[in-house]
């Protein structure tokens, strides 16, 4: 693919888990997604990947989603979160950890009812943007898969359907494994580059696709670009990230790779996430010191 990655993209594309996602990253996509969100009026956010039956959602997704939601709220956008049962406690705990109750739309446990209520919310809120961060997206056979090629369809509500018919709305997908909403944009590359890629590749495409080492990092990249556009730092602090992840694990959040109820994300220790966030904040400060968001796009390369 043409173009090279700027420092923000380079940092969040760090493939610390050795997943082979580097070739899925599309240069400039995250910046363009952020520019679109910056110009929007309202955003409906969706996250939550359930790895095993009966469990709460994994720790990748909610923290980045909350970081993005808070940034957009601070920029005056109307922000709401769709919260089906497995992710609701994680989002509630995240709001408490930040001391800001989040505008959650709780969805019923029955999958078809959850989809119906999500559609009703979409119709009544009329957001300009619909964003999925680490949310299962159906593969060619209609199933949802984990990265090992096993079906997780039975315990993830079919909210990816919201992205299939999406007139009059800009959609953004953030993922790290090829099996999430948005990856339909790069499904052939997922098939070629990732283990079980041909099976798990999501067919659900979004207008913008952000691929990163973990989905939380992809969301942080969006916040970093929003910060450059707004002329102020909007990223959470590493200390806030610690509070978010610990609060999520306390209410049942699990690591999506190890399956453990431990303050890790995708098998990577919390300290690694905090350091990467700290570095991303430094990069953003540097970009802000160089000038405004327009000047900072010299990073396009």
Interface residues with Zn ion (CB under 5 A) are 60, 176-177, 214-215, 266
Q: How far is the CB of 269 from Zn ion (least distance, A)?
A: 14
Q: Token pair of 141, please?
A: 């056979």
- To Zn ion, the closest distance from the beta carbon of 61 in angstroms equals 7
Q: Shortest approach of Zn ion to residue 46 CB, angstroms?
A: 14
Closest CB to Zn ion among residues 92, 176: 176
- Provide, rounded to whole angstroms, the least separation between the CB of residue 297 and Zn ion: 28
Closest CB to Zn ion among 206 and 214? 214
**Any idea what the Cα angle at residue 11 is, between residues 290 and 175, rounded to 5°?**
125
Nearer to Zn ion, 176 or 241 (CB): 176
Q: Name which of 47 and 215 has its Cβ closer to Zn ion.
A: 215
As measured in angstroms, the least distance from the Cβ of 266 to Zn ion is: 4
> Between 38 and 63, whose beta carbon lies closer to Zn ion?
63
Q: How far is the CB of 38 from Zn ion (least distance, A)?
A: 25
Residue 215 or 248: which CB sits closer to Zn ion? 215
Cβ neighbours of residue 110 closer than 8 Å, sequence gap 6 or more? none
Query: Terminal CA-to-CA distance of the chain, rounded, Å?
Result: 14
**From the CB of 42, what's the least distance to Zn ion, in Å?**
26
Nearer to Zn ion, 268 or 296 (CB): 268
Report the residue closest to Zn ion, judged by CB. 60
């Amino acid at each position: 693919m043409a173009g090279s990655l700027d420092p923000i993209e380079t940092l969040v594309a760090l493939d610390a888990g050795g997943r082979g996602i580097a070739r899925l990253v599309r240069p400039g996509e995250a910046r363009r997604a952020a520019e679109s969100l910056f110009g929007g009026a309202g955003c409906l956010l969706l996250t939550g990947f359930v790895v095993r039956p009966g469990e709460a959602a994994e720790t990748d997704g909610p923290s980045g989603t909350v970081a993005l939601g808070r940034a957009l709220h601070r920029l005056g956008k109307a922000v709401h979160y769709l919260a089906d049962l497995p992710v609701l406690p994680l989002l509630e705990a995240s709001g408490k950890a930040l001391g800001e109750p989040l505008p959650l739309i709780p969805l019923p446990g029955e999958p078809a009812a959850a989809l119906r209520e999500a559609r009703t919310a979409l119709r009544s809120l009329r957001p300009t943007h619909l964003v999925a961060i680490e949310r299962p997206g159906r593969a060619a056979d209609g199933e949802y898969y984990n990265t090992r090629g096993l079906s997780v369809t039975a315990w993830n509500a079919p909210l990816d359907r919201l992205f299939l018919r999406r007139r009059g709305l800009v959609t953004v997908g953030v993922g790290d494994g090829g099996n999430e909403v948005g990856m339909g944009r790069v499904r052939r590359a997922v098939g070629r580059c990732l283990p079980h890629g041909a099976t798990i590749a999501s067919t659900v495409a979004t207008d913008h696709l952000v691929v990163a080492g973990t989905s939380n990092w992809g969301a942080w990249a969006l916040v970093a670009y929003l910060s450059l556009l707004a002329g102020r730092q909007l990223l959470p602090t590493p200390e806030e990230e610690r509070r978010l992840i610990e609060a999520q694990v306390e209410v049942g959040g699990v690591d999506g790779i190890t399956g453990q109820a431990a303050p890790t994300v995708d098998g990577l220790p919390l300290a690694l996430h905090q350091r990467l966030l700290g570095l991303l904040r430094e990069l953003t400060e540097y970009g802000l010191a160089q000038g405004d968001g327009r000047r900072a796009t010299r990073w396009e390369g």
